[in-house]
A = this chain, B = another copy of it.
Amino acid sequence: MPDFRFAVAVMPKPGILDPQGRAVEQSLGHLDVDGVRDVRVGRRVELTVQAPAEEQARAVATRLAEELFSNPLVETYALELLR
């Protein structure tokens, strides 16, 4: 069975407080960096799924993204097939 490698990007929903993003923004002054804003910090999960075809592999990755990698209440996710 072929392997499919995915990346799942999990980000805080717009409007949801993102303390890590705020922390980064507060560090920018110390680094003398101007012109940076709207910093959001999330997670990236990469995984290999072995399945008969891409459709089945994508279904497994989607289930994991929804149930294990993200909290749908406060986070969104995006799935990307890595070539």
- Using CB atoms and an 8 Å cutoff, list the residues of chain A in contact with chain B: 1, 5, 7, 9-11, 24, 27-28, 31, 33, 35-51, 60, 63-64, 67-69
Contact B47 A39 (CB under 8 A): yes
Contact B1 A31 (CB under 8 A): no
Contact A46 B50 (CB under 8 A): no
Contact B64 A33 (CB under 8 A): yes
Contact A45 B49 (CB under 8 A): no
Contact B44 A10 (CB under 8 A): yes
Contact A45 B35 (CB under 8 A): no
Q: Please list 21 pairs of residues, one from A and one from B, whose beta carbons are closer than 8 Å in the complex, sorted by A's number.
A: A1-B35, A7-B9, A9-B44, A11-B44, A24-B45, A24-B47, A24-B69, A31-B64, A31-B67, A35-B49, A35-B60, A36-B49, A36-B50, A37-B48, A37-B50, A38-B46, A39-B46, A40-B45, A41-B45, A42-B44, A44-B44
